[in-house]
Structure 1
Amino acid sequence: MILVTGATGTVGRAVIDGLLALDMPVRALARRPETARLPESVEVVRADLGEPDSLAPALRGVDRVFLLSTGPELSKHDANIVAAAEDSGVHHIVKLSSGRAGDDAATDPIPMWHRAGEAAIREGGVPWTMVRPLGFMSNALHWIPSIRAADTVRAPFGQGRIAVVDPADIAAVAVKSLVEQGHSGNVYALSGPQPLSPGEQTEILAEVLGRPLRYVETSAAESRSAMLDFGVGPEMADAIMSLRATALESFTSVVHPTVAQVTGRPPRSFRDWALGHRAEFLN
């Protein structure tokens, strides 16, 4: 049995789909199972990474865990799951981490949270694999309202370029790490096939959608305000903006060969990702 946390998110759901395609038994952890909307073959259990007492029942009979945790309490959540996993006899944890978690010079919140979470897992007694993606292609979905309303992409840090990766490729690496031997102790840095600026992504989206789009660079303050209006808390909004600012640094444009090495196929391009999500931008 494989337990998937973060099961209703973009990557978690893709991990579930990948495991089901291999006929693997899957259990999903959810704080509100009634709203999970997962396939009927998935066993959904009520638990919370922030409530250690809820984890032992969720881990009963589980031998592998896909761990996806977020937010300021991330390291505590990771420590909670690894302690419960050790007690339950789990054989392997695959953690979705951050692309810069291994860089001690990264002092912005999100890589620091993940670095502490990785440390908690390494200090536990359960074998592990760390999956460290750069920016997600799916972040472009946040542009849907402004594209539909004004054929415009509004985003900060226009000079930054990130080798964004398809969440489906992240999930494919995670699934391989969960179901195959030989991944224990590995750290997988993931990227897409090319670094792109917001303007370059906008040009690709325009071609895919078949209509002109324009890119407008916003200030960091405007972007932060938009997140607050969307319901993101101030601490998380500040952390996301700090992470976005790293797009101006060279490490975000590095292309890693890991997706092809682990899965045996090249990572999907942003154009291919956009074609797969074209209807979402148009409807």
Structure 2
Amino acid sequence: MILITGATGTIGSEVVKALLPDHADHLRVLTRNPGAGFPEGTQKVVADLGDDDLAPVLDGVRAVFSLTEGLNIAAHGQRLIAAARRAGVERIVKLSVRNVAHGATDPISTSHRADEEAIRDSGIAWTFLRPTGFMSNALNWAGMIAGDQVVYAPFAAGRGAFVDPADIAAVAAACLTQDGHAHRSYELTGPEPLSPADQVAILSKVLDRDLHYAEADPAGSVAQMVSYGMPEEYASAVIEQFRSTLEPWSAQPTSHVTAVTNRPPRTFADWARSHRTELLSPASW
């Protein structure tokens, strides 16, 4: 049995898709939402990684996709690791962040680093997936695209080799089900470094819209996220992650997606074409 945590999120839902139908009836999906729906061939378990007793969640599980986020990355990770050890889990594939590999000290990277260290110490075979920023973050621009067609985002000078969540999921599925990935860390990127203005220019062509980019103040971006209901501490941590696009390594693509999946990662234009409807209809996501 394979356990997928964060199964309703951007990455977790893609991992479920990547494992089906080949591993149908051998997938357990964890959600806090009793009403969440999943594809046929999955076994839904309603629980929270903050729960004291995760034994029922891990019963019979041999591989875990560990996705912890928010302000509880390390705490939830430690509970999951302890339960996995007791259950006899054989491998953990953890979704981390690329910043960990480059000495970043922002709160999110620090928490992921602590979680990685705890997994190493667990004695369970591990694989760490360290992606750069997700292409899907551009969905946050859908309201601006549909509105005045000016996209506001911070760090105009930043460039990132952003990655398609489906490519992360393809790597995760391979690491969960194939040998040869134990005790390896993969930095997952797309094929090209892009600035915010580059991304907006590509979206303009794909969506056939006259879009323009304008640099946003980081403090204003934090305030906007808080207005949407995100805790201020977490919003500030997210902006610090975005700030890493100013670092030289952020723009450097890697070959790790290709090495694991035997195919090149998708371009941002490819991703945008496949998500055209969501980008033009902000109420749909």
Task: Report Cα offsets for 1:231-250 as digits up to 9, x if no partner.
Answer: 11011011011111111111
CA distance in 2, matches of 1:216, 1:37: 38
Out of 173, 179, 184, the position equivalent to 1:186 is 184
Please name the residue that 1:27 is paired with: 28
Cα distance, 1:21 vs. partner?
2.9
Q: Which residue of structure 2 aligns with residue 87 of structure 1? A: 86
For the residue of structure 2 that corresponds to 1:102, the secondary structure is helix
1:116–1:186 Cα change, 3 Å: same
- The 3-state SS of whatever aligns with 1:33 is coil
Aligned to 2:40: 40
TM-score (norm 2): 0.96
SS at match of 1:86: helix
Whole-angstrom CA distance in 1 between matches of 2:280 and 2:180: 43
Greater Cα shift, 253-262 or 70-79: 70-79
1:166: which partner in 2?
A: 164
Assess if the C-alpha contact under 8 Å between 1:5 and 1:28 holds in 2. yes
Q: Given the alignment of the two structures, is residue 74 of structure 1 paired with residue 73 of structure 2, yes or no?
A: yes
How big is the alpha-carbon RMSD for the aligned residues of Structure 1 and Structure 2?
A: 1.0
The whole-number CA distance in structure 1 between the counterparts of 2:221 and 2:246 is 16
Amino acid at match of 1:224: V
Contact residue 52 and residue 81 of structure 1 kept, 8 A: no
Could you say which residue in structure 2 is the equivalent of 1:63?
62
How far apart are 1:32 and its partner, in Å? 1.8
Q: Does 1:6 align with 2:6?
A: yes
Looking at structure 2, the residues matched to 52 and 29 of structure 1 have their Cα atoms a distance apart, in angstroms, of 15
Shift of 1:103: 3.2
Q: Normalising by structure 1, what TM-score?
A: 0.97
Aligned position for 2:110: 112
Q: Give 1:199-278 correspondences, 5 Å limit.
A: 199-278=197-276
Deviation at 1:40, TM superposition (A): 3.2
Is contact 1:6-1:68 (8 Å) kept? yes
User: Following TM superposition, where does structure 1 have runs of at least 4 consecutive aligned residues deviating by more than 4 angstroms?
Assistant: none
1:127 to 91, 108, 125: 125
Task: Identify the residue that residue 177 of structure 1 maps to in structure 2.
Answer: 175
Offset, 1:41: 2.3
1:23 Cα shift? 2.9
Q: Which consecutive residues of structure 1, in runs of 5 or more, have no partner in the other structure? A: none
Identity rate of aligned residues, in percent? 48
Rounded Cα–Cα distance in structure 1 between residues aligned with 2:115 and 2:201: 37
Asked if structure 1 preserves the Cα contact closer than 8 Å seen for 2:99 and 2:244, the reply is no
Gaps of 5+ in 2: none
CA shift for structure 1 position 31: 1.3
**Match for 2:195: what amino acid?**
S
3-state DSSP class of the match of 2:186?
A: strand
- Offset at 1:57? 0.2
What is the deviation of 1:253?
Answer: 0.4
**CA displacement, residues 156-199 of structure 1 (integer Å, 9 cap, x when unaligned):** 10110000000000000000000101111010111000010000
The residue identity in structure 2 corresponding to 1:96 is: L
Q: Any conservation in 1 of the 2:159–2:250 contact (CA below 8 Å)?
A: yes
Checking the alignment, whether the CA contact within 8 Å between 1:137 and 1:166 is kept in structure 2 is yes
